[in-house]
Structure 1
Amino acid sequence: MNVRDRQAQRARIAADVGLGAVFAVALVGAAVAVATTWGGGYWQFGCAAGAVVCVTALLRRRHRTWAAVAGLAVAGVAILVARLAELPAEPGPAMALALSVLVGSAVRALPARVAGVVAAGGFAVVAGSGVAALPAPGVPAVTVLNLTAWLAALAVALLLRRIAARRRAIAENVRRDERLDLARELHDVVAHHITGIVVQAQAAQLVARKHPDRLDGSLAGIEAAGSDALAAMRRVVGLLRDTDDVAPAMSPGLEQLSDLVRRFGGHGPDVRLHLPDDDDDDAAAWPPEVTSTVYRVVQESLTNISRHARHAHAVTVGISQDRDAVTVEVTDDAAPASARRNLRRGYGLVGMRERVEALGGALHAGPQEAGGWSVRATMPIPAGERR
């Protein structure tokens, strides 16, 4: 589990602890109020039933559907028992709050059909509380309480559901744009290989007429160029979906990284750039799509730092390679802040991850144990390109 996952887990635990405290206060308050007005042990049933639903609400993340069904079922039974035994009307305040959590959680996260059924079940409980109070005049206070809680849960859940849907749509557009950008770059790569094949085929015709003994070498060159083009297409065949858009695009590489870092350092924190050794020819052998992806990861990471970590004092950009993979890591030393963490999880990371994973790699981004932020991408080097 990485740092971000641990922080999210701690946040969920803290939220549930706070919610449990609210439930406890509601249960004790309702029990005291019933004991004061009704006397005797009339508070016991409502407190026990409310506690069951509250515990169910705290366990909702394990299975939202069954948690909601169980809570609504307990509420329905509580309404019936309270009516037959002439106990205080149910659901009480604590149960109403717990039901709103269960219904809201289900409506927010579950598929539309299941969410609709749970919402309808919540309304049925509200209506049942009103029917159980008949023939009392007017609208019972318990019905007003439960209707208000149900409406509030439904409104908040639908709003959050809409926000999540919008984020998914934006993220999908970002992924599509990144795939299209990468497909354009690879169009250049394939076009380069095809051009080489054509040129060598034309040369082979001349060689066949003048120097037939050298024809094998020309054919071997054509075969190698064709194999390279085929390998490039296979690596990204899943990306080439928008066949109508084949406009050429620039493919920046390592030679532009120094300029990028220098421009960033001119109006931001100091940046230390660590590249593979100058006498290491392996970087020159990287496929163009890997080289350009390294550049894009650095570019997007520096952009995020300039936007969301302006208090950073130092940034390190490191690029390394072993026999099988290229790794690029960008780190900063900015102090942690909750607002910054939320902003740094924007759609730029979605695009970077889409590009890296399209090449069979992996990208990890999040806060570091010692402070600051880290973006680390690892991309495999195709076997044909290794030395």
Structure 2
Amino acid sequence: MKGRGSLSGWVGFAVDAGLGVGFAAALAFQAYRLADSWGGAYWQFGCVAGAVVCGLALVRRRGRLWAAIAGLAVAAVALVVARLAGLPSEPGPAMALGLSVLVGSAVRVLPAWRAGAVAAGGGAVVAGGLLAAFVFSTGSVVAVLNGAAWLAALVAGLGPRLLTARRRAMAERVRRNERLELARELHDVVAHHITSIVLQAQAGQLLARKQPHTAEGSLADIEAAGSDALAATRRVVGLLRDATDNGNDKTHSAEQLGELVKRFDGHGLVVRLSLPDGESGWPPEVARTLYRVVQESLTNISRHAPNARHVTVTVTVARDQDAVRVQVVDDAPPGVTPYPHRGGYGLIGMRERVEALGGTLSVGPRRGAGWSVLATLPISTAASVSGRR
């Protein structure tokens, strides 16, 4: 960071040195032309006023707003004095160059309303010069030059300003997407594994009262679930620490989906899984989202529908082989919803995952009893999404 700051300082110094040379050349050219065309000492006032504005342009970094205000004030006073005293038109070329640097610099970095005020002040000076040239029919070339310099300053200031705003918006959008992805991952990890630990602990309490000799096995199951939760949490923390890892290298196969179902099967809940024949060969995004939909559905059933006894997880492939459908249904009694409308982010995260692949999600009660979650994931769209990533 120190080297970068030094480099920036040298660049700024080189720019100011170049501007100083340009200002000196403009002042010398202005003095020469005025002495040649007007004669006498008519060049002195304009060159002194121009030198003051150019000097303010060179020290603009110490206070861009006040430097711009002072430069515009000098230009406005010079315009009035030159007209009343019958001197050459102001602002002259050197002053116009200095004003363009002050206005462009202010428009580029100052807050919006201050930048607008400085730009408007520059426009007012240009308008005053044009009005004087029109009324007195003198100095029209100088007035046009001032207008061109002012427009160039606006372009030079607004261009980088808009580019910076665009980059900032893009960076914010990327950070927002990363926060949403990490929020979904944390929710999936914490809700799923903590629910598993709670279920194991509840089962362990029952076994401890009825079959004390089997309590050791329940404690081992709780320990295993806790270890899984710790490993999953470490993986998510690793995503936060490693910016080069987007977390999408992990795929979920049918075997892993079967292991997920086994963790919920038992302890009062019977879970059945139905998968299509043959290898899936689905894009990683599809397999991962399918896994998360099933995981979130089973977790919510365990947490919010304790009276449910049977759950069926069905995965099918559309006839055209271009979409995968997963449906999770339970037999919870009427009036019990495993997807509370308030205080939870599971359904929101599930819908975001599905819709990010161009899919659809339908969640609602079934006729008679139970709830259904149906997600449709297009394979071709997901493949293109994976390719872009």
TM-score, scaled to structure 2: 0.55
Q: Once the 2 structures are TM-superposed, how far is the Cα of residue 217 of structure 1 from its aligned partner?
A: 12
Q: Deviations over 1:291-339 (max 9, x none)?
A: 2334443679xxxxxxxxxxxxxxxxxxxxxxxxxxxxxxxxxxxxxxx
Determine helix, strand or coil for the equivalent of 2:91.
Answer: coil
| In 2, Cα distance between equivalents of 1:43 and 1:287 | 75
Q: 1:290 — aligned with what?
A: 237
Counterparts in 2 of 1:185 and 1:296: CA distance versus 1, 3 Å? farther
- The aligned amino acid for 2:41 is G
Q: 2:118 — aligned with what?
A: 118
Q: Deviations over 1:211-252 (max 9, x none)?
A: 679989989x989x99x98xxxxxxxxxxxxxxxxxxxxxxx
Q: 1:5 — aligned with what?
A: 5
| In 2, Cα distance between equivalents of 1:291 and 1:163 | 33
Q: Deviations over 1:249-270 (max 9, x none)?
A: xxxxxxxxxxxxxxxxxxxxxx
Q: Give the conservation status (yes or no) of the 8 Å contact 2:31–2:43.
A: yes
**1:276-315 equivalence runs, <5 A:** 287-297=234-244
| In 2, Cα distance between equivalents of 1:169 and 1:49 | 42
Matched, 1:44 2:44: yes
**1:69-218 equivalence runs, <5 A:** 69-133=69-133, 135-137=135-137, 140-210=140-210
Q: Deviations over 1:266-302 (max 9, x none)?
A: xxxxxxxxxxxxxxxxx989832232334443679xx
Q: Once the 2 structures are TM-superposed, how far is the Cα of residue 141 of structure 1 from its aligned partner?
A: 1.6
Runs of 4+ in 1 over 4 A off after TM superposition: 211-219, 283-286
Q: 1:57 — aligned with what?
A: 57
Q: 1:33 — aligned with what?
A: 33
**What is the number of residues matched between the two proteins?**
246
Q: Deviations over 1:83-103 (max 9, x none)?
A: 222222111111101111111
Counterparts in 2 of 1:80 and 1:216: CA distance versus 1, 3 Å? farther
- The aligned amino acid for 1:170 is M
- The aligned amino acid for 2:96 is A
**1:311-330 equivalence runs, <5 A:** none
Counterparts in 2 of 1:14 and 1:109: CA distance versus 1, 3 Å? same
| In 2, Cα distance between equivalents of 1:23 and 1:39 | 22
- The aligned amino acid for 1:2 is K
| In 1, Cα distance between equivalents of 2:178 and 2:232 | 24
Determine helix, strand or coil for the equivalent of 1:73.
Answer: helix
Structure exhibiting the larger radius of gyration computed from Cα positions: 2
| In 1, Cα distance between equivalents of 2:100 and 2:157 | 10
- The aligned amino acid for 1:291 is G
| In 2, Cα distance between equivalents of 1:127 and 1:25 | 26
Q: Once the 2 structures are TM-superposed, how far is the Cα of residue 167 of structure 1 from its aligned partner?
A: 1.4
| In 1, Cα distance between equivalents of 2:66 and 2:232 | 55
Q: Once the 2 structures are TM-superposed, how far is the Cα of residue 208 of structure 1 from its aligned partner?
A: 3.4
What is the alpha-carbon root mean square deviation over aligned residues?
A: 3.5
- The aligned amino acid for 1:289 is V
Which runs of 5 or more residues in structure 1 are unaligned?
230-282, 301-387
Q: 2:386 — aligned with what?
A: none
TM-score, scaled to structure 1: 0.55
Q: Deviations over 1:342-367 (max 9, x none)?
A: xxxxxxxxxxxxxxxxxxxxxxxxxx
Q: Once the 2 structures are TM-superposed, how far is the Cα of residue 197 of structure 1 from its aligned partner?
A: 2.2
Q: Once the 2 structures are TM-superposed, how far is the Cα of residue 52 of structure 1 from its aligned partner?
A: 1.1
Counterparts in 2 of 1:139 and 1:210: CA distance versus 1, 3 Å? same
Query: Which of structures 1 and 2 has the larger relative contact order (alpha carbons within 8 angstroms, sep 6+)?
Result: 1
Q: Give the conservation status (yes or no) of the 8 Å contact 1:189–1:288.
A: no
